[in-house]
């Protein structure tokens, strides 16, 4: 009994010792020692420590030379995809990472023009760890006795005999619950097919044992997969190069399929609002906790090569409705790696695509995508030119930020408000509570950066919730960036409209970027009443808890009066 009690105590301490940790997106991540994390196009795997035997999470990815340049000064993209190393980081909570080793370096690998899209599998038949990656125009398998040691060149595979091209399009490594690992990858040219190959040993070499085609259709890259409650999901992105795009998926009850829909992929709902938090599909990790199973979407934001924001790694939790995945785009959230539970972070920005970097091209766009709105935003034109594809007179809805701009604002793009004739336009998005991401009642602050060279008849930032409107004028015409905010926005009933209204003359222009909406607190009873706007009568009485009463009560009352059309609030004590 004493031994059982001791084991129970240790187990409880283990659970208590790993509390929910905060994941913050849209920043450059650092290790526990404060050094930059450089890990792109990789994956997370759970292996035993080579010394202690204790299992840890190991995160492998590529350190590109251009990643250092961009992080030091994110004022413009770089074209330097030079390979520095394959990095390995270790964690026990999937949030706090410690650098372990450069398991492959440029000097140990030799000459290369491209290295990327990798993962690690343990191959029991060989008693080796196998690192599978794209190497130039082939697939290279390197092996090591340890998950953290130096991986050595083992088997360089020309894929031509398997799929018809020497290279894969994109690829990642997936490990099933039974310990078997697979490479999921696309056809090397056009990415119009997706394949699965088991990783194993043949003729004394760690290699790809088979080649099973699971999809044939529109080109899809960023190929990766996960498993959730017994079902398999293969995911991919549009062919947008380094830029963000929609997240697509297939589903099957078996690793090799058949996957549905047949030769067509579904868009993952939620991701379309900001293209997967401005990412390309990277990899997934499924946390099988004591309380719930949580799938983490680990998106690659190739900001070093696309210039589309800050941070290379954007991780968001998925939800599921009738086995269909739903993408929860969060700028901040918490994860308990022991229980598997997650929650929205206290400083989460509820705006989708507030940096306007989801769209890589000018909008309206007639190709990849065909689109007349900025992703996540609604445009309402009351007066002015019609926003239309192929129209020579249509206003362009976004603009490029210069390197000078990017010393102040984030990313390539910003919202651009202008027209060649007099115009009135409203740009907004509606934010509502969802099953897994509530928009809780409370006080919020909306902020943005604005630059204008014109004197508008009206240029306003607004938030509207529960029939109350909060706004601020943007009276700037000096062509300089200004920070603006609306504090103490009272949001109720899980819904708010936020955006901008412009009433301008021909050629009046304004640029807006970095829009945020963050919860700042809970209102007191007095603040709640003060925010009720024109819904009150000429004189109303409330308790200190904010409950409306028929008239004054004994003790303290909050009194709301309307005098000459202006609301005033005071306290009244009645004996």
Residue-wise pLDDT tens digits, 214-234: 999 999 999 999 999 999 999
The string of pLDDT tens digits covering residues 169-217 is 999 999 999 999 999 999 999 999 999 999 999 999 999 999 999 999 9
pLDDT for position 125: 97
pLDDT for position 543: 80
Q: Is residue 533 over pLDDT 60?
A: no
pLDDT for position 339: 98
Mean pLDDT of the chain: 93
Tell me the C-alpha distance between 543 and 547, whole Å.
Answer: 5
Q: Is residue 29 over pLDDT 80?
A: yes
Confidence of residue 13 (pLDDT cuts 50, 70, 90): very low
- Domain boundaries defined on the chain: 2-344, 365-521, 525-574
Instruction: Name the 3-class secondary structure at 161.
Output: helix
Q: Is residue 502 over pLDDT 70?
A: yes
State the average pLDDT over residues 382-402: 98
- DSSP assignment string, 317-348: EEEEETTEEEE---SEEEE-TTT--EEE-TT-
Q: Is residue 566 over pLDDT 90?
A: no
Residue 174 CB: number of other CB atoms within 10 A?
24
**CA angle, corner 542, sides to 539 and 548, nearest 5?**
90
Return left, alpha or beta for 414; rule: phi > 0 is left, psi -120 to 50 is alpha, else beta. beta
State the average pLDDT over residues 276-280: 99
Return left, alpha or beta for 357; rule: phi > 0 is left, psi -120 to 50 is alpha, else beta. alpha
Q: Is residue 532 over pLDDT 60?
A: no
Q: Is residue 279 over pLDDT 50?
A: yes
Q: Which has the minimum average pLDDT: 132-141, 354-363, 539-548?
A: 539-548
Confidence of residue 1 (pLDDT cuts 50, 70, 90): very low
pTM of structure: 0.90
Q: Is residue 534 over pLDDT 90?
A: no
Whether 22 contacts 94, CB under 8 Å: no
Which CATH number describes the domain made up of 365-521?
2.60.120.260
pLDDT for position 283: 99
Sign of CA dihedral 409, 410, 412, 415: negative
Q: Is residue 424 over pLDDT 50?
A: yes
pLDDT for position 290: 97
> Which residues neighbour 293 within 8 Å (Cβ) at sequence distance 6 or greater?
228, 229, 286, 287, 340
The string of pLDDT tens digits covering residues 119-166 is 999 999 999 999 999 999 999 999 999 999 999 999 999 999 999 999
Q: Which has the minimum average pLDDT: 16-30, 401-415, 437-451, 506-520?
A: 16-30
The string of pLDDT tens digits covering residues 42-85 is 999 999 999 999 999 999 999 999 999 999 999 999 999 999 99
The string of pLDDT tens digits covering residues 434-483 is 999 999 999 999 999 999 999 999 999 999 999 999 999 999 999 999 99
The string of pLDDT tens digits covering residues 287-296 is 999 999 999 9
**Pair of tokens at residue 280:** 């390309």
Which CATH number describes the domain made up of 2-344?
2.115.10.20
> In this structure, what are the phi and psi dihedrals at residue 10, rounded to the nearest 5 degrees?
-60, -40
Q: What percent of the chain has pLDDT over 90?
A: 87
Confidence of residue 536 (pLDDT cuts 50, 70, 90): very low
Tell me the C-alpha distance between 544 and 557, whole Å.
Answer: 6
Q: Is residue 8 over pLDDT 50?
A: no
Tell me the C-alpha distance between 454 and 238, whole Å.
Answer: 38
């Amino acid at each position: 009994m004493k031994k059982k009690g001791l084991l129970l105590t240790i187990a409880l301490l283990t659970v208590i010792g790993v509390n929910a940790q905060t994941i913050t997106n849209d920043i450059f991540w650092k290790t526990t020692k404060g050094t930059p994390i450089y890990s792109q196009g990789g994956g997370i795997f759970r292996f035993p420590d080579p010394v202690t035997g204790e299992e840890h999470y190991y995160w492998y990815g590529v350190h590109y030379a251009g990643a250092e340049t961009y992080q030091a000064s994110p004022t413009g993209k770089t074209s330097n995809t030079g390979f520095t190393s394959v990095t390995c980081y270790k964690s026990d909570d999937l949030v706090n990472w410690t650098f372990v080793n450069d398991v492959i370096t440029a000097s140990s690998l030799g000459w290369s023009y491209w290295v990327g899209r990798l993962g690690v599998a343990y191959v029991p038949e060989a008693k080796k760890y196998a690192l599978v990656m794209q190497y130039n125009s082939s697939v290279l398998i390197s092996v090591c006795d340890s998950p953290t040691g130096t991986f050595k060149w083992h088997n360089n595979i020309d894929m031509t005999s398997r799929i018809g091209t020497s290279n894969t399009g994109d690829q990642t490594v997936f490990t099933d619950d039974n310990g078997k690992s697979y490479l999921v990858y696309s056809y090397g040219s056009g990415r119009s097919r997706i394949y699965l190959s088991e990783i194993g040993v043949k003729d004394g070499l760690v290699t790809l044992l088979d080649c099973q085609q699971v999809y044939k259709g529109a080109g899809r890259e960023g190929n990766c997969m996960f498993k959730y409650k017994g079902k398999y999901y293969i995911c991919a992105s549009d062919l947008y190069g380094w830029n963000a795009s929609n997240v697509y998926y297939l589903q099957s009850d078996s690793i090799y399929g058949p996957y549905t829909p047949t030769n067509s992929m579904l868009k993952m709902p939620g991701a379309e609002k900001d293209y997967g938090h401005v990412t390309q599909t990277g990899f997934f990790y499924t946390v099988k906790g004591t309380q719930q199973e949580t799938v983490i979407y680990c998106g690659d934001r190739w900001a070093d090569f696309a210039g589309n924001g800050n941070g290379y790694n954007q991780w968001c939790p998925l939800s599921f409705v009738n086995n269909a995945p739903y993408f929860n785009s969060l700028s901040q959230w918490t994860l308990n790696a022991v229980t598997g539970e997650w929650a929205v972070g206290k400083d989460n920005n509820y705006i989708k695509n507030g940096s306007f970097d989801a769209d890589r091209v000018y909008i309206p766009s007639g190709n990849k995508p065909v689109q007349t709105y900025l992703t996540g935003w609604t445009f309402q034109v009351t007066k002015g030119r019609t926003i239309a594809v192929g129209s020579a007179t249509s206003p362009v809805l976004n603009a490029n930020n210069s390197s000078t701009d990017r010393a102040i604002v984030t990313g390539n793009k910003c919202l651009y408000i202008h027209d060649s004739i007099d115009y009135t336009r409203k740009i907004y998005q509606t934010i509502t509570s969802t099953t897994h991401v509530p928009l809780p009642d409370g006080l919020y602050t909306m902020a943005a950066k604005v630059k204008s060279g014109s004197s508008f008849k009206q240029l306003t930032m607004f938030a509207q919730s529960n029939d109350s409107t909060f706004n601020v004028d943007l009276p700037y015409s000096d062509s300089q960036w200004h920070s603006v905010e609306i504090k103490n926005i009272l949001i109720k009933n899980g819904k708010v409209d936020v955006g901008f209204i412009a009433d301008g003359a021909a050629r009046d222009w304004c640029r807006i970027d970095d829009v945020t909406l963050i919860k700042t607190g809970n209102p007191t009873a007095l603040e709640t009443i003060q925010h009720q706007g024109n819904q009150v009568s000429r004189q109303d009485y409330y308790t200190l808890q904010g409950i409306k009463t028929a008239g004054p009560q004994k003790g303290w009352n909050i009194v709301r009066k309307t005098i000459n059309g202006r609301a005033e609030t005071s306290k009244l004590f009645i004996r």
